[in-house]
Amino acid sequence: MKIPISWLKEYVDIKISPEELAERLTMAGTETTARGELLELDILPNRGDLQSVIGIAREIVTILDSKLHGTKYKVLSTKEKTNVPIEVKERKLCPRYMARVIKGVKIKDSPDWMKERLVACGLRPINNIVDITNYILLEYGQPLHAFDFDKVNKIVVRKAAEGETIQTLDGTEHKLDPSILVIADSTRPIAVAGIMGGKESEVSERTQNILLESAFFDPVSTNKSSQFLKLRTESSIRFGKGVDWEGVEMALHAAAALITELAEGTICDFKADKKSFEREPKIIKVRTEAVNRILGTELSKKEIDAILKRLNFLNGIPLYRAGDIEREIDVIEEIARIYGYHKIKAKLPQEIEDNPLDRLCVKTREIMAGAGLFEVQTFSILDPQYPDRLKLRDAHLRDFIKVANPLTEEESVLRTIVLPSLLKVVDHNRRHQVDDVKIFEIGKVYYKGEPHIERMMLAGALTKTDFFFTKAAVSALLNEFGSFEFKEIKTNLLNLGKSAGIVFEGEGIGWLGELAIPIARNYDFTEPVFVFELDLELLLKNAAATKKHAPLPRFPKTDRDVAFFVKEGVTHSSILAIIRQTGGNLVEEIQLFDIYNNSRAYRITYRDPSRTLKVEEVNELHTKICDALVQKLGVELRK
């Protein structure tokens, strides 16, 4: 936004250079550049109050701790009678609508001083009436619209009807959506509310009487209409950020006064003001303790009150800041801004809370990355069809929480399991010819409750690999925190025989395995996908407080290999159980080192911590283990 400094000086005494003024505005949060006697300001989206000369003048008054000069316009209306029926049907979208009638205007060029200011601000002069509405828009931040009064028989603020169209002032024909707010007469739309007027009711050289409109339109509705019509104007920008409730009336009167002066018009006694409700300044309690605790300052109540007085916040939040200042923290931010960020000493927080779960997440990331997996972050909002796509049977996994106001149906529920989010990533990569995917995510799942329950989970999805690589990646994590084992699990999520439940320190915390074929088909996966998911909060709860260390063994180990064919249904965990049960404490380690079809080969490590085992002892124990596998599991030893 561009503003001549000479215009600002009509409202505030400025005794510093343009460069210093720009610096002071920038340090207060509004990036400003001085270009001679012109200021260029980058207005933030939440500062709709700064979209005007008066708004910038208020900001300068606050920063310099000076005074704001009063308005310079006086409205002199006559007793001439006139009337315009006005009906506001959409009171939520237009809570305030004002209008005045000015007769006997003469359409001509604007004076040079007005043209120069409009051009300096980036607007093109057209004629005195249009220029006055643009001038007031820049001065007050309140968009106005002038209708040719003789072309309008009634004002109705309503939504567009199905199939209605309007030709706007730029000559473009627009098909209107029923959600769009319009200004209409008794038969047709004559303006798109808050965006642009219609061609049929525009002010022309033959116009003699005008109807001047000033209103408060809902910011959300205005933004949506502007996006739908692909029509972005100075008016839509200001209404989209929110205008001053009181400025609606002040701008109307100022424009009417200028029209009588520059267009020789006569203001009729008619003045419409349709309000859905009255608005009062917000009262927000600000605690001295909260200000100092959050900002790290030692301000007294008197110092805080002095800043609030400069902001005009002492008796409540003025209506021109109503859309921006809503909570105590917003007021504290304003106090910091005016006090000066450079005055706040940099220091570390006095206490940094140690969060064990955060530390666990950091360690988990390191281990997963070390295992060759890449971290992803996905949305925790999913399509409500995901339980069916995953064929979930557990009731608590199907009973998801619905989002109150979803943007789309495809993103309308909170997930109860991380897996579907990762499968979407795998599918996305596959569709872009990336077949080798190894990813993990640390994220939350949500369950119903009073209040709802959130759990931090670790999940992964891997392709172009096998069950044992997936198991090794999970084992690398679990090894860091305590003892664990993998047990047989039956779930429709995973293929039987290539799946395992994760038991950590005696408690089940998750699962891993190959994605079940029916579910893989739902995602059009033609190659195996290996997945895992575990509860990090349960892992943290059961993790050993200190690491366990053991002395290096004094006596040598002895390795023996055994290879055999297994029957269908014999699991890895059942084989391990037989070996440990038969071998007892002398079995130190069991490693599966070869697998082909139904053939398995294991290496068993024997060691006695108190003595050296004899070859005869090891051979005898190894034979017992082989015999137990044959008798109890029906394996066939390979010779």
CATH number, residue 230: 3.50.40.10
What is the predicted pLDDT for the residue at 437? 96
Residue 584: which CATH number? 3.30.70.380
Both 167 and 302 in one domain: the answer is no
What is the predicted pLDDT for the residue at 569? 81
What is the predicted pLDDT for the residue at 318? 93
Is 520 among the domain residues?
Answer: yes
Domain-terminating residue out of 542, 575, 599: 542
Contact 75, 145 (CB under 8 A): no
Q: What's the pLDDT tens digit per position in 191-219?
A: 999 999 999 999 999 999 999 999 999 99
Is 348 among the domain residues?
Answer: no
What is the predicted pLDDT for the residue at 442? 97
Contact 535, 432 (CB under 8 A): no
Is 282 among the domain residues?
Answer: no
Q: What's the pLDDT tens digit per position in 351-380?
A: 667 789 999 999 999 999 999 999 999 999
Both 198 and 239 in one domain: the answer is yes
Split at pLDDT 50, 70, 90, the class of 405 is confident
Both 44 and 134 in one domain: the answer is no
Both 198 and 93 in one domain: the answer is yes
Instruction: Output the six-digit token pair for 169.
Output: 């002032």
User: How far, in Å, are 165, 194, 281, 306, 308 from residue 315 at the CA level?
Assistant: 47, 31, 8, 13, 9
Q: What's the pLDDT tens digit per position in 574-594?
A: 899 999 999 999 999 999 888
Max Cα-Cα span within the chain: 124
54 pLDDT more than 80? yes
On the CB side of 475, CA atoms within 13 Å amount to 9
Is 248 among the domain residues?
Answer: yes
Both 481 and 569 in one domain: the answer is no
What is the predicted pLDDT for the residue at 548? 66
Split at pLDDT 50, 70, 90, the class of 347 is confident
Both 455 and 479 in one domain: the answer is yes
Q: What's the pLDDT tens digit per position in 445-498?
A: 999 998 899 999 999 999 999 998 999 999 999 988 888 888 888 899 999 888
Alpha-carbon span 326 to 343, nearest angstrom: 25
Both 114 and 52 in one domain: the answer is no
Provide the domain limits for residue 181: 86-275
Contact 555, 617 (CB under 8 A): no
- Which residue type occupies 208? Q
334 annotated to a ligand binding site: yes
Residue 36: which CATH number? 3.30.56.10
Average pLDDT of the chain is 92
For the chain, what percent of residues have pLDDT higher than 90? 80
What is the predicted pLDDT for the residue at 271? 87
What is the predicted pLDDT for the residue at 196? 95
Q: What's the pLDDT tens digit per position in 162-172?
A: 999 999 999 99
Both 580 and 501 in one domain: the answer is no
Domain-terminating residue out of 251, 275, 299: 275
Q: What's the pLDDT tens digit per position in 57-82?
A: 999 999 999 999 987 777 776 677 78
Q: Please state the domain count of the chain.
A: 5
Mean pLDDT, rounded, for 326-346: 92
Is 628 among the domain residues?
Answer: yes
Residue 418: which CATH number? 3.30.930.10
Both 429 and 455 in one domain: the answer is yes
Mean pLDDT, rounded, for 422-432: 95
596 pLDDT more than 90? no
Both 308 and 207 in one domain: the answer is no
131 annotated to a ligand binding site: no
Both 491 and 570 in one domain: the answer is no
330 annotated to a ligand binding site: yes
Both 175 and 37 in one domain: the answer is no
Phi-psi region of 231 (alpha: psi -120 to 50; beta: other; left: phi over 0): beta
Instruction: Output the six-digit token pair for 423.
Output: 């499968």
Q: What's the pLDDT tens digit per position in 100-156?
A: 999 999 999 999 999 999 999 999 999 999 999 999 999 999 999 999 999 998 999
Contact 286, 336 (CB under 8 A): no
Is 19 among the domain residues?
Answer: yes
Contact 209, 150 (CB under 8 A): yes
Domain-terminating residue out of 298, 314, 341: 341
Is 404 among the domain residues?
Answer: yes
Is 629 among the domain residues?
Answer: yes
- Which residue type occupies 152? V
Q: Name every residue whose Cβ is closer than 8 Å to that of residue 466 and which is 6 or more positions away in sequence.
A: 528, 530
116 annotated to a ligand binding site: no
